[in-house]
Amino acid sequence: GKETVMARLSDADDALASFVDEMKARNLWDKVTVLFVSEFGRTLTNNGAGTDHGWGGNYWMVGGGMKGGRILGRYPDDLTDAGDLNIGRGRLIPTTPWDAVWNGIAEWFGVSASGLDDILPNRHNFDTIYSRSDLYN
């Protein structure tokens, strides 16, 4: 239930804070990227016992070298059934591909352009792809 989710979020918050503190104490925080993802999106509507699997989701990143405090991608203008990204029952069409974020992270790791094509073969199929300079200071 809701209390279990809140307890787990609190545990995750505490664990992340401890990790960040340790990385800063070791002077490594600028060399760390943490990417938080859900393995699937969720619908906006309730099915009576929660929400169903959906398409659109979110991910967020933290790290000492990040250009933080921003939202990247397109946030839906309208979350109602009339919204252009809503295909019914609160299922949103994603506007930013998974490849967009991983492209910038892989560049940060030092992956070459040809290597990026190997590990992200679909990256050229999207209008939105983030580079290292988009994500990092």
Q: How many beta carbons lie within 10 A of that of residue 46, not counting itself?
A: 11
Between CA 63 and CA 34 the distance in angstroms is 6
Q: What is the pLDDT of residues 18-50, one digit of tens each?
A: 999 999 999 999 999 999 987 778 888 888 887
pTM above 0.85, yes or no: no
Helix (H) or strand (E) holding 135: helix 132-135
Q: What is the pLDDT of residues 100-128, one digit of tens each?
A: 999 999 999 999 999 999 999 999 999 99
pLDDT over 80 at 2, yes or no = no
% of the chain beyond a pLDDT of 70:
99
Q: How many beta carbons lie within 10 A of that of residue 6, not counting itself?
A: 10
How confident is the prediction for the chain on average, in pLDDT?
91
